[in-house]
Structure 1
Amino acid sequence: MTISSSLNASVAGLASNASRLATISDNIANSSTYGYKRAVADFHSMVIDSGKGTYAAGGVRVTTQRLIDERGPLVSTSNPTDLAVRGRGMLPVTEGSALGVGAATDFPMRLSTTGSFRADADGYLTTESGLVLLGWPANPDGSIPTLPRDSAGGLEPVRVDTNQFVSDPTTAIQLAVNLPATETAAGATGDTESLSIEYFDNLGIAENLSVSFVPTVPATGSSNTWTMLIEDSASGGAVVGNYTLQFDDTPGLGGRLLSVTDTVGDPYDAASGSISVAVNGGDVSIGIGELGEAGGLSQLSDAFAPVSVTKDGSPVGNMTSVEVDANGFVHAFFDTGVSRTIYQVPIVDVPNENGLVTQDHQSYTVTPESGPFYLWDAGDGPTGDIVSFAREESATDVAGELTQLIQTQRAYSSNAKVIQTVDEMLQETTNIKR
């Protein structure tokens, strides 16, 4: 009987609206959950083939889906390792429990659009729910090695050691010094001009290069010649460089380097305008200027003027903070002012985000329905960038959910009313026998 189909259809309607009520309840409950993606229930009518003049109610079936591709608004925070993806793509993470499995190198990858990461007792950037951020470890020079982009095999848990010490050896020094021209003229006192330059060796120990400029005083005229002596404190004051500097005194080129002759140390490199000396821990390049060009060493007037002395390298420093930039590079900052790139966090992209399987803690795993993943540099290709000091809020629209709640309640009540009506009609049929 078609009246029986009406009863079955209404029962299906109750079950379907109960499922819709469950999604609404979950959405409202997680309206303050960072990174939450709302769930929706879609109804589909069922059709039963019937002859002409009759109609059998097929009822309704419900399917639920989580709209993972929807993005909630970003809000600012005070934690530099609070991260959110602005645009398409997700952050690679793994479960903290996976870190203790032997000497595992391949970690089960999950995806998340946001997370509040902080260093745990072992230094891993971890959320309160136990998700650990993954990234590619950098080489000692800060570069990122070339790794496959369609595999998570090269990803490692991002670990920051706040007890880490770091130093950079000095490899280059640039001098801008004026020598007094009057000291190379006949009758001059021939006073030596001195300059001390601090450098750092491979162990971060500070040493000094003592640079002395000794003028050549002729009997007549001007020699425009100086002897440059370089002594290294790490070698007990041994001379590591001895060079003869000849300056030009012709119109237009007066005061500029004319020639450099080496006695101790590597030969002068005219192309770069530098000399190289061997100090404790390696060679140091000292820029003194190109021949015939302004800059570097000069000989003018009657004053000794160390205008500028610049160098690279740094002493031993303690790590003070960690930040992630828009391209996913993780930078460690030290109290000496030095920063180093220690990881790069890629953006994970899949063709169909709604095909991902939802896991706990607003994380997801790749499935055949989502399509294969690809690891992009943040901001490249179709992906968005990474925003630090930020979290992604829930994608739930509470006002919209409450509106759907009213609609669901009415639909549920209406289906219950149909069941009541069918029951009354069946009762009337039973009463015919009386």
Structure 2
Amino acid sequence: MTLLNAINSALSGLNAESQRLSAISNNVANSSTVGYKKTETLFESMVLNGTASSGSNLAGVHGINRMDIASVGQMETTGITTDLAVNGNGFFVVNTKADNSGEYLASRAGSFRPDASGNLVNTGGYYLQGIQLDSAGQPVTNATDSNITSLGTVNIGNLQATASATTKVTFNANLPSTDISDWSTTSTQAQTAHTSSVQYYDALGNAQTLTITFQPVFSTPTTPTANTWNMVIQDTAKIPATAATGTISVWGTDGTSPTNSLITTTGVLSSSNGDISGQAKLTFNGAGSTSSSQPAGTLSAVDATTSIYPVGTAPTYDSTTGDFTITTGAGRTLKVNVGVLNSSAGMTQYAGAYSATKIEKDGASFGMLQGVSVDGDGKVIASFSNGSTRPIYQLELALFTNPDGLSAVSGGAFAMDPAAGVPRLFKPGQGPAGATEGGALEGSNVDISTELTRLIQTQRAYSSSATVIQTSNQMLDVANRLNQ
């Protein structure tokens, strides 16, 4: 190797270490950048004429920068629901344009926020892509394994929950058995009544109230009918101008005869609770029941009463489902589930105080968007002011055979180069794809201590190459002075 070759090799060393220094500097500068992937400088020796057996054909070193894209950074919890991270393999699919007319890119930078139009965009200016879902949670469009173009920008603007009418109410209660066995013989005493209110929603989302009243059934003012209760359901959707007439098995406060109208006395039926939508006689298995299929205290029969119905049709009871079907004040059918027969999961008659044990209903009033969140399988869930929630988008993660073959672009995104392989879409948490984490971000995969160690190594290597050049120059000077 000549002195000039030595100088050239040392110069290539200076260039390679300068390139490595640039990579280290960029890594340190982006050590706090969300989703940043560190750059490593690899060194490759150079040889002239294909062989270095003689040593004279060595031509120094060449630096190659390569991003470590496949390496995952540390997860950081933010508490902001639109911040997203991937715990495992996969990249979010983003687009440079909100209308999807731009380029589709891959990114792990999940700091998304809604813009003025409600589009979720990250700090790099890239728009999050997903599959839009309809009101039933089904995809509006289908995305196959590699059908990137079927995805659309996730938009949460102008979302609202439409009102939905209540179709079913579940009401279970325990009616005290002592209300019948301990009945007073004083004829002037009014009968015991237990009342509960259940809210439901009509077709326009207005809140209405069902008032359910239970009273023991008596054949005379002082003679109870064993284990039998009268149930009357009133609906505020229609308040009668005058009390409904007809035979209702409720005794008046005078204790002399059954009344033929709604009683306004406190503790019994009142027209202010609305029109009667349903009435039934509930019979329970008595204390003497020993059958395992008919446990004591459980409901044994529900006999719908059809005498008084100002609107709609007479109620029915389905012993298979436990649904007591009534007609609301607005004329709509509504199922009130009181439980199946001979089951302790429905209406019961045990000792103790009256207690409503289960009240549930479907339906909702009109609601405005309150926020969005993302679950582990990539569903974007919208929450509304009426308490309802529904999925609005399904995120898909892009996976590549060689993720390190992606080309970095500004803003923490990567172009889908052929060197990375054909992108394949997976739902988060399925197959090789990692799960999504809402309220979290993936930090940079840069380790500062490692970069500082490399910085010291680079400085020493650079100084050594400079020393080689200085020594070679001195030797050339000696050779030049030989002719003087």
| Post-superposition offset of 1:45 | 1.1
Distance 1:144 1:8 in 2: 62
Which whole-Å deviations, capped at 9, do the CAs of 1:178-204 have from their partners, x for residues lacking one? Answer: 55777799x987787655432012432
More off after superposition, 162-171 vs 316-325 = 162-171
| Post-superposition offset of 1:67 | 0.5
Which whole-Å deviations, capped at 9, do the CAs of 1:4-41 have from their partners, x for residues lacking one? Answer: 43343333323222222211221122222222211111
* 3-state SS of paired residue (2:11): helix
Matched, 1:30 2:30: yes
* 3-state SS of paired residue (2:418): coil
Matched, 1:176 2:158: no
Q: Contact 1:201–1:281 (CA<8 Å) still a contact in 2?
A: no
Distance 1:154 1:134 in 2: 9
Change (3 A) 1:230 1:154: farther
Q: Which residue matches 1:201?
A: 202
* 3-state SS of paired residue (1:114): coil
Which whole-Å deviations, capped at 9, do the CAs of 1:357-400 have from their partners, x for residues lacking one? Answer: 11111111322221222333333333333333333332222332
Q: Contact 1:202–1:281 (CA<8 Å) still a contact in 2?
A: no
Q: Which residue matches 1:56?
A: 57
Change (3 A) 1:285 1:4: same
Within 5 A, what are the aligned runs for 1:216-235? Answer: 217-218=218-219, 222=225, 228-234=231-237
Matched, 1:150 2:139: no
**Gapped regions of structure 1 (runs ≥ 5):** none
Q: Which residue matches 1:133?
A: 128
Matched, 1:117 2:154: no
Distance 1:300 1:61 in 2: 88
| Post-superposition offset of 1:346 | 3.3
More off after superposition, 423-432 vs 350-359 = 423-432
* 3-state SS of paired residue (1:400): helix
* 3-state SS of paired residue (2:59): coil
Distance 1:136 1:201 in 2: 32
Structure 1 letter corresponding to 2:377: N
More off after superposition, 255-264 vs 396-405 = 255-264
Q: Which residue matches 1:269?
A: 318
Q: Give the length in aligned residue pairs.
A: 428
| Post-superposition offset of 1:65 | 0.3
Distance 1:171 1:336 in 2: 17
| Post-superposition offset of 1:44 | 1.0
Structure 2 letter corresponding to 1:123: G
Structure 2 letter corresponding to 1:296: G
Q: Percent identity?
A: 33
More off after superposition, 313-322 vs 295-304 = 295-304
| Post-superposition offset of 1:149 | 3.7
| TM-score (ref. length: structure 1) | 0.82
* 3-state SS of paired residue (1:406): helix
Matched, 1:66 2:67: yes
| Post-superposition offset of 1:176 | 1.8
Within 5 A, what are the aligned runs for 1:225-264? Answer: 228-234=231-237, 240-249=277-286, 251-252=288-289, 253=295, 255-262=297-304, 263=306, 264=313
| TM-score (ref. length: structure 2) | 0.74
Q: Contact 1:169–1:314 (CA<8 Å) still a contact in 2?
A: yes
Q: Which residue matches 1:362?
A: 412
Structure 2 letter corresponding to 1:292: N
Distance 1:82 1:333 in 2: 16
Q: Which residue matches 1:19?
A: 19
Structure 1 letter corresponding to 2:121: T
Which whole-Å deviations, capped at 9, do the CAs of 1:334-369 have from their partners, x for residues lacking one? Answer: 444443333333333222221111111111132222
Which whole-Å deviations, capped at 9, do the CAs of 1:82-139 have from their partners, x for residues lacking one? Answer: 22222322223333xx11x4xx5x7643222233222222222223332332333333
Structure 1 letter corresponding to 2:324: I
